[in-house]
Amino acid sequence: MVGYMTSRPLPPTGGGPPVIAAAGTVLPSTSRGPQPALTLTLTVSADAEEAGLAVVALAREACLRTDLDEVATLRFFFQSVTERVPEFHALMDELVSAGDTASIERIMRAPGSPGRPRGRMTPVALIEQIMSEHPGWSAKQAAQWLVENLRGKTPIWIPGLKRLQNLHSELKHVFALWHRPLYVRPELLTAEAWLPPGREPWWVDFFATAVVTRLPSGTVVMHSPDDTVTQGASHVEAENHAQQPLESTESEQPGLPQQPARPRDQ
């Protein structure tokens, strides 16, 4: 469904925490070197704020256009931001009122659940890496190199040439922001994330580590229990030493208790 709506009532903004987030993926070596560990950096720099504003703008526009595929993609890759964009609340409330449970589940589904695959940023990142290592190469040339040199030789999923090109074309605008640290001021967002009736917040599956840096007072880092969190003078890094390639996201929500997350109710 794609349309353009401007009359949806919007919830108020402010009153909640900022969003400080980072995401990345462990890539196999493309130059015969060792596979690096994944290090994510949380920062409130001007560059992170610029990226955060761009994500908010993308989410707002997609919601106003009722482009549900784009909304689902942005929510999948930028969950902590998209779920607090006022226009996202308005759109999702409208879907609830209309009883459109299929669209709600399509937008809110978790990685690995049935539906159109979206968690495929690693192939896109690989194409971008190859292009950076070979200035002047096109995405098609980089995809061809991956198929000829890495497909079937690494545990990560590398599709065929046509699918690689399509993935890069579909997600390159998302990747341009996804791999950068993000910072969004609270006055641009709702106090709470939108959730379907009866759904628990996503952060109950994560661990919380208190932060003592120049980041806002009361900040904690929400992270996988497999991550190691270290702090610098003005930034925080979360490092994952997993041997298998993976994709990871990192976000913070100030004020949450410093304790292991409880399991979801069965």
Q: What's the confidence (pLDDT) of residue 114?
A: 58
Q: What's the confidence (pLDDT) of residue 118?
A: 57
Phi, psi of 143 (to 5 degrees): -65, -40
- Name the band, by pLDDT with cuts 50, 70 and 90, for residue 140: very high
CB count within 10 Å of CB 233 equals 6
CB count within 10 Å of CB 207 equals 18
Q: CA 224 to CA 238: how far, in whole Å?
A: 9
Distances (CA, A) of 139 to 28, 106, 125: 18, 29, 11
Q: What is the pTM of this model?
A: 0.72
Q: 238: exposed, middle or buried (C-beta count within 10 Å: 0-12, 13-18, 19+)?
A: buried
Share of the chain above pLDDT 70, in %: 68
Residues 48-97 have pLDDT tens digits of 999 999 999 999 999 999 999 999 999 999 999 999 999 999 999 999 99
Residues 189-243 have pLDDT tens digits of 999 999 988 766 655 555 667 665 555 555 666 666 667 777 665 565 666 544 4
